[in-house]
C-alpha cells in the first residue's frame, strides 16, 4: 500500500488508533491536571521506585531519563513482582498499571503496604485502584479506554507531578510547556493527512520496510530506543532490536557484518544536545556498518528542554510503528498473542 492512501489506512486501522495518536498532545495536556488523592506526604524520599510492566513502565523510563539531568534522588524502574530489597521507609513507590490488574504491580503495592513504604498508585481502576482505596494509598485515577502503550501521557505526567510533590526537581513549568508545544507541532507533521514526502514517521516506516529495525540511542535516548522497540513489537508485530551508545560499541558492533546485517535497518536516535564524543561515536558507527546494513536512518529530537526532546522522539516512534504496521497489513491496536497469554495465565494476569 501507499501510506498516502487514506481509504486504505482506514481499512487497515480497524480500531482508529490514528485518532488516539493524533490526540496525544491533548492527552498530555489533560494528564498535567491529574493529581493524587489523598495528597502525598511532603517528605523528600531518598529513592523512587517506579513499579510497572510493559507500556505502563514506559512512563517510569521517561521519568528516570528526565531526572538524570537534575534530580539528586535516584529513580529505579522495577519490572517484576514485589519490590527490590533496597526499598525502605525513605522510598517513594510510584505504582503504574493502566488496567489496574497487572499482577506484578499489584504485588509491589502489597509489599509497600506491608513494609509501610510510602506509595502512590496511577491506574484507571481494577485491582490496584481498589487496593489503594482500601488502604488509603494516594491514587491518581486515569481515564480508561486506551491501550497502555498509547496512554503514555497519562502514565508519565502524573508520575512527574508526584515526584515534584515530594520535592524532586525534574522539570520546570516552562519545560512542560515546551514539551506540550513540541508534540502539538509534531501532531500536525506526522498524521495520516501529511504526505510521505513531508512526514518523517511515514518515511522511516517506508525505509525500514520488511527489514528488522535495530534502534540505537545515546546516553540520554537509550531508554527511548527501548520504547521504540516495544512499540514496533506491539503495533507492527515484528521483532526489533534496541541498544545504546557507547555500550554497543564495546560489544554489539561486532555483529554488524555482512551478510546477516543486510536483514537489519540501522535506526539512530539522535539528540541535539548530545555530547561531542557521542556524536563522534554515532558518526563512526554509521561509517563502519553502512555498507553491511540493509539501510540506515536517523531521527532527531525536537524542542529545547530535556523533557521536550525525549517526548518528541517517543512520539515519532509511536507514529513510525503505526505506519510500519499498516505497511505490513497488521492491525496496530489488537494484541492477540498477549491476550492469549493472559487467558492461559488465568484471572489477575491482565495487561499493563
**Catalytic center residues:** 234, 250, 342
- End-to-end CA gap in the chain: 32
Specify which residues 94 forms β-bridges with: 50, 120
Give kind and range of the element (H or E) at residue 321: helix 306-327
Q: In angstroms, what is the C-alpha Rg of the chain?
A: 20
Grid cell at residue 72: 539528586
71: number of Cβ within 10 Å: 18
Nearest 10 degrees: Cα torsion 171, 47, 126, 17: 40
3-state DSSP call for residue 270?
strand
- In degrees and rounded to multiples of 5, residue 122 shows phi and psi of -115, 115
200: number of Cβ within 10 Å: 19
Sheet holding 75-78, edge to edge: 75-78, 47-51, 91-97, 119-123, 139-141
Amino acid at each position: 500500500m501507499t501510506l498516502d492512501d487514506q481509504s486504505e489506512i482506514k481499512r487497515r486501522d480497524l480500531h482508529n488508533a490514528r485518532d488516539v495518536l493524533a490526540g496525544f498532545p491533548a492527552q498530555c495536556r489533560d494528564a498535567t491536571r491529574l493529581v493524587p488523592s489523598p495528597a502525598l506526604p511532603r517528605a523528600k524520599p531518598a529513592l523512587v521506585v517506579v513499579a510497572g510492566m510493559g507500556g505502563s513502565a514506559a512512563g517510569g523510563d521517561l521519568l528516570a531519563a528526565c531526572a538524570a539531568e537534575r534530580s539528586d534522588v535516584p529513580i529505579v524502574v522495577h519490572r517484576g513482582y514485589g519490590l527490590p530489597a533496597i526499598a525502605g521507609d525513605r522510598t517513594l513507590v510510584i505504582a503504574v498499571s493502566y488496567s489496574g490488574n497487572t499482577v506484578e504491580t499489584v504485588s509491589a503495592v502489597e509489599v509497600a503496604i506491608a513494609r509501610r513504604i510510602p506509595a502512590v498508585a496511577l491506574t484507571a481502576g481494577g485491582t490496584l485502584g481498589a487496593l489503594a482505596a482500601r488502604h488509603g494509598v494516594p491514587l491518581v485515577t486515569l481515564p480508561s479506554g486506551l491501550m497502555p502503550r498509547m496512554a503514555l501521557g497519562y502514565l508519565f505526567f502524573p508520575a512527574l507531578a508526584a515526584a515534584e510533590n515530594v520535592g524532586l526537581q525534574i522539570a520546570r513549568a516552562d519545560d512542560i510547556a515546551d514539551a506540550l508545544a513540541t508534540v502539538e507541532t509534531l501532531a500536525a507533521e506526522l498524521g495520516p493527512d501529511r504526505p510521505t514526502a513531508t512526514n518523517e514517521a511515514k518515511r522511516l516506516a517506508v525505509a525500514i520496510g520488511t527489514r528488522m529495525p535495530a534502534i540505537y540511542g545515546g546516553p540520554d535516548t537509550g531508554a527511548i530506543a527501548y520504547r521504540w522497540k516495544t512499540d514496533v513489537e506491539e503495533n507492527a508485530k515484528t521483532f526489533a532490536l534496541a541498544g545504546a551508545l557507547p555500550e554497543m560499541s564495546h560489544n554489539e558492533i561486532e555483529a554488524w557484518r555482512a551478510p546477516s546485517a543486510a536483514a537489519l535497518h540501522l535506526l539512530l536516535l539522535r539528540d541535539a544536545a548530545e555530547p561531542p564524543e557521542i556524536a563522534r561515536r554515532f558518526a563512526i558507527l554509521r561509517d563502519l556498518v553502512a555498507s553491511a546494513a540493509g539501510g540506515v536512518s536517523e531521527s532527531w529530537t525536537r524542542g529545547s528542554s530535556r523533557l521536550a526532546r525525549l517526548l518528541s522522539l517517543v512520539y515519532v516512534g509511536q507514529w513510525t510503528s503505526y505506519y510500519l504496521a499498516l505497511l505490513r497489513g497488521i492491525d496496530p491496536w489488537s494484541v492477540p498473542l498477549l491476550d492469549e497469554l493472559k487467558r492461559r495465565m488465568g484471572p489477575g494476569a491482565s495487561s499493563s
